Structure 1
């Protein structure tokens, strides 16, 4: 059995935004459950994660289990603690990947042939075929991201431009504190959800969040396809670009991903991006954002819009600050100025 050594905890070096994430996932409206009953806690956690077995390792400790939860389409972010030392056993997850990020305490995790002693610097990453055994200390407190395996593999296929030869497997240890892109993603998710409490209801926004999350996870964390080069094809023909351009124009009001557009073009994701850059000067997703911005502008100047945030969300812009900045750069005034002017 291989033992992974870890560096010392660095809670004192935690970025300030982590406090924002922890506080956001501790608000009453995000509370999924709170219980001092182990069976109830197991049942509630199983609804979000996977049925599992759990026992207290010290019967004299009082269980104080709490879980806060944010669901965003095929991904979710949770904060979970038990308030007592526990041991957990779980069969293979089957349909999801779990990234477990300790923000307090420590945990011992055994997955595949690796035993890991986790702390606030190192996360455990569980793949769908992984059975796992864990021990959480009394003060263990974790952020847990759940990602649909189907979503993550679809994203990978889009990047590679060909089907997978074997199931995707992520490395079981992840130095998440040192990953600038991953930390930025967590901050962005919380920022969007804070500005738009009903974010999960906006079907144009969720695919963008899912795409961003899966792309960053695949780019920042090693997996069994990390060294696989994308499929090489001949230079994209203009008709392929036109095909996707026509599709975007006809379906700008619908959710879509770069992988879906590559499928429509009949080329790899890389070839699609190259074609758009060569012929239109922008990426396909930037072309889509520009088109949606035009629709948002048209709606704001029509005199029928009720408020800026409603228009922005309707056209897939979840981050109000960025929408306002991009809008002003494009049209020379803020969205609210356009709305007031009409």
Structure 2
């Protein structure tokens, strides 16, 4: 966790303040609506790899516009209020609610009150998209624009975020281990999915249809199995065409695409857990039988080869052309 303090509003260099927030959280356009000479601007932030937690208070009434490139922003006012226009919808949040800003979409926070300090959680788009798919069998487009944090799941999520951020502030060395940081990021992301898609009772439409649940759970339990469309349909208890329609309707992807994503995620987690394990063994244990295809799919998903991931963890450089 890094902490920055600001001086009285009259002496704040707003360009410098905006640059600090952009570096810690998201690039944006800042407009000061009304300054308060007695207020202070404050910023704290901590990075958990693909996820960042920031505490931001401008100390003045401002408006902020951001496209949130490549990541979701979940903004939780801990005081004051936050008015925003998110994907054409007007959202007003106070303590107990969160404004959820989608990635790569312009959001205008038209009124960020001078007494509003937010806990902002920046979650990499790929991380949250995967968790929404695997944990809730939903598309990322189903993520609500506002989250009620007064629910048990909502309270649990914000308490987890606050606790981990405070621990990192007190003991910053805990995040020097990349694997530890990424595991904590996954925990925060998974808890957010639970808050965004809480369990529904039998009188409501289930968030995860049974046929989808059965298939995803079966793949997660044994990703290395020789899954075919026929035996996945057998697991679901429906025909192949019905299974395909179910996945397209509720997940937006085919069963084979979901199978590939789950296998890649298993391989990625295995590599992070044991970076010294042979890449071929990790690929095989995740269900890949062709190392070249695995390396290509891994690069497309994570933006680097498996050996590059391992090198970053171990602090070495892979030889040219090595997978």
Instruction: Note if 1:30 corresponds to 2:6.
Output: no
Match of 1:265 in 2: 286
Structure 1: runs of 5 or more not aligned: 1-28, 268-342
Give SS of 1:104's match.
coil
Match of 2:105 in 1: 130
Match of 1:232 in 2: 215
- 1:1-40 equivalences in 2 (<5 Å): 30-32=2-4, 34=6, 36-40=12-16
Q: Deviation at 1:201? A: 0.7
Greater than 6 Å deviation, 4+ residue runs: 233-239, 247-251
Out of 191, 194, 209, the position equivalent to 2:184 is 209
- 1:217-296 equivalences in 2 (<5 Å): 217-222=192-197, 226-227=207-208, 229-230=212-213, 232=215, 240=224, 252-254=273-275, 264-266=285-287
Q: Identify the structure with bigger relative contact order (alpha carbons < 8 Å, sequence gap 6+).
A: 1
Name the CA distance, whole Å, in 2 between partners of 1:157 and 1:235: 15
Out of 157, 168, 173, the position equivalent to 2:146 is 173
Instruction: Note if 1:94 corresponds to 2:69.
Output: yes
Match of 2:291 in 1: none
- Cα deviations by residue, 1:120-169 (Å, 9 ceiling, x for unpaired): 121101111431111111111111111111222233444478xx9x6545
- Cα deviations by residue, 1:82-130 (Å, 9 ceiling, x for unpaired): 111111122x223001111111111211111211221112110111143
Give SS of 2:96's match.
coil
Match of 1:185 in 2: 160
Q: Judge conservation of contact 2:53–2:165 (CA < 8 Å) in 1.
A: no
Match of 1:119 in 2: 94
Name the CA distance, whole Å, in 2 between partners of 1:173 and 1:99: 9
Name the CA distance, whole Å, in 2 between partners of 1:239 and 1:140: 46
Name the CA distance, whole Å, in 1 between partners of 2:217 and 2:188: 30
* Coordinate RMSD, CA, aligned: 4.1
Name the CA distance, whole Å, in 2 between partners of 1:205 and 1:157: 23
Match of 1:49 in 2: 25
Q: Normalised by the size of structure 2, how large is the TM-score? A: 0.58
Instruction: Note if 1:146 corresponds to 2:122.
Output: yes
Match of 2:252 in 1: none
Q: Judge conservation of contact 2:84–2:90 (CA < 8 Å) in 1.
A: yes
Q: Structure 1's 34 and 177: CA in aligned 2 closer, same or farther, altered over 3 A? A: farther
- Cα deviations by residue, 1:40-98 (Å, 9 ceiling, x for unpaired): 111111112332211111256566321111111111111111111111122x2230011
Q: Structure 1's 56 and 231: CA in aligned 2 closer, same or farther, altered over 3 A? A: same
Match of 2:54 in 1: 78
Q: Structure 1's 112 and 194: CA in aligned 2 closer, same or farther, altered over 3 A? A: closer
Give SS of 1:232's match.
helix
Structure 2: runs of 5 or more not aligned: 199-205, 226-262, 289-323
